[in-house]
A and B are shown apart, each in its own frame.
Chain A
Amino acid sequence: MDSSVIERIIDKHHGEAGSLIQILLDIQNELRWLPGAALEMVAEKLQVPMSRIQHTVTFYKAFSLVPKGRHEINLCMGTACHVRGATRILEMIETVTGLQPGETDADMKFSLDTVNCLGCCAIGPVMEIDEQHLGKLVPDRTAALLKKYD
């Protein structure tokens, strides 16, 4: 881990303890996970107890304590997407990627997670890959979409 990245982010927020969540989010965006060493640096520089950092990073789903793949898939399993067949989409993603929700593959290509309502039920079933929303999914097209990523 490059500690200058963490230092730069902390400096950007003036090392303020009140910016804890924003700092963690920036680190998460930059490294796409939160390594233990990064959390220790944050605790030290912000003078925030490690137990509070743990509380925060395990509370919000936006944080990950394990490395994520190059492409993060968030499949919506909310009510609207569910009734429009999200379960079958999930099965298809699981078949294509070999992943269960919460997992990342060995060559770090995909991470798969499920979420509960992305807020665009009208185009359900929806998944989000690398922050791009892909709607009106059907299993076949989902498989074809996934093949485009490398």
Chain B
Amino acid sequence: MSEFSLKIDGKDVAASDDMTILEAAQSAGIAIPTVCHHEKLEPFGGCRLCTVEAEAGGRTSLVAACIYPAQKDMAVKTRTPQIDKIRKVLTEQLLAYAPESEVLRGLAREYHADKDRFPKEPSFCILCGLCVRYCAEVKQKSAVGFVERGPNREISFVPEIAAKECWDCKECFPLCPTSALQAAYVLTRSLTSFKSTAQPEAGKQAATNTVPQ
């Protein structure tokens, strides 16, 4: 692992080659907005809100800071009029799906995004995958996953797993930048006979959970 320095917004930042631009920036206290990123999860690169301008070897390109590796002598700009515009439009698009999301409203204020620019299509989920990846990577339960593709893509709980695991966990709820996840879970619960099958399992879970992890 080699150590080197790069420039982020004109500041010299020390980094190593296992770091992303985002991690290098964060270590130097430079903020880059993110929506689909979570430090406990593998980089995903789904939302592109973290787009920055990176110059390396004479080439300048727009890259997703959360997945792009930091490089020696790279010069990164985290805010330019072009980047601001990209973030503005992305926020406007996401707001069409999740108009009430606090995370997105915050970004809208920062980047002067018009929350009504695109016609509303409130699916509430912006497919950031935080719930899906958290359940798979951290909890290793995969109770929730993506189904379908393109415009029909959505998240879906696997009822058999959800009935056993979710009631006592729900750790993904606070990760969701919208309120969709909780709604989807409540829906799954109401569609399946959770009560009859879940209760004894829930008891067992509670007992094992008292062991500190």
Q: Do A and B come from one complex?
A: yes
Binding site for B on A (CB under 8 A): 49-52, 54-55, 58-59
Given contacts A50-B142, A51-B132, contact A58 B158 (CB under 8 A): no
- What are the 6 closest A-B residue pairs judged by CB atoms, nearest first? A51-B145, A49-B142, A58-B147, A51-B142, A50-B158, A58-B148
List, in ascending order, chain A residues with CB within 8 A of B135's CB: 51
Measured between alpha carbons, how far is A63 from B193 in the docked complex, in Å? 28
Measured between alpha carbons, how far is A54 from B145 in the docked complex, in Å? 8
Measured between alpha carbons, how far is A49 from B148 in the docked complex, in Å? 16
List, in ascending order, chain B residues with CB within 8 A of A52's CB: 136, 142, 145
Binding site for A on B (CB under 8 A): 132, 135-136, 141-149, 156, 158, 160-161
Measured between alpha carbons, how far is A51 from B141 in the docked complex, in Å? 9
Measured between alpha carbons, how far is A120 from B130 in the docked complex, in Å? 41
Measured between alpha carbons, how far is A51 from B143 in the docked complex, in Å? 7
Q: Is chain A's interface secondary structure helix, strand, loop, or mixed overall?
A: helix
Q: Is the CB of A51 within 8 A of B161?
A: yes
* A-B CB pair tally, cutoff 8 Å: 37
Measured between alpha carbons, how far is A51 from B147 in the docked complex, in Å? 8
Measured between alpha carbons, how far is A59 from B145 in the docked complex, in Å? 12
Taking a contact as CB atoms closer than 8 A, the residue among A49, A50, A55 that contacts B146 in the complex is A55
List, in ascending order, chain B residues with CB within 8 A of A50's CB: 142, 145, 158, 160-161
List, in ascending order, chain B residues with CB within 8 A of A49's CB: 136, 141-142, 145, 158, 161
> B78: shortest Cβ distance to chain A, in Å?
33
Q: Is the CB of A59 within 8 A of B149?
A: yes
List, in ascending order, chain A residues with CB within 8 A of B143's CB: 51
List, in ascending order, chain B residues with CB within 8 A of A58's CB: 147-149
List, in ascending order, chain A residues with CB within 8 A of B144's CB: 51
Q: Is the CB of A54 within 8 A of B149?
A: no
List, in ascending order, chain A residues with CB within 8 A of B141's CB: 49
Q: List 9 A-B contacts (CB under 8 A).
A: A49-B161, A50-B160, A51-B144, A51-B158, A52-B136, A52-B142, A52-B145, A54-B158, A58-B148
> B27: shortest Cβ distance to chain A, in Å?
34
A51, A52, A54, A55, most chain B CB atoms within 10 A: A51
Measured between alpha carbons, how far is A113 from B128 in the docked complex, in Å? 31
List, in ascending order, chain A residues with CB within 8 A of B136's CB: 49, 51-52
Measured between alpha carbons, how far is A54 from B144 in the docked complex, in Å? 10
Measured between alpha carbons, how far is A52 from B136 in the docked complex, in Å? 10
> A52: shortest Cβ distance to chain B, in Å?
6
- The residue in chain B whose Cβ has the minimal distance to the Cβ of A51 is B145
> B47: shortest Cβ distance to chain A, in Å?
19
- Apart from A49-B158, A58-B147, list 18 A-B contacts with CB within 8 A: A49-B145, A49-B161, A50-B145, A50-B158, A50-B160, A50-B161, A51-B132, A51-B136, A51-B144, A51-B145, A51-B156, A51-B161, A52-B136, A55-B145, A55-B146, A55-B147, A58-B148, A58-B149
Measured between alpha carbons, how far is A55 from B161 in the docked complex, in Å? 15
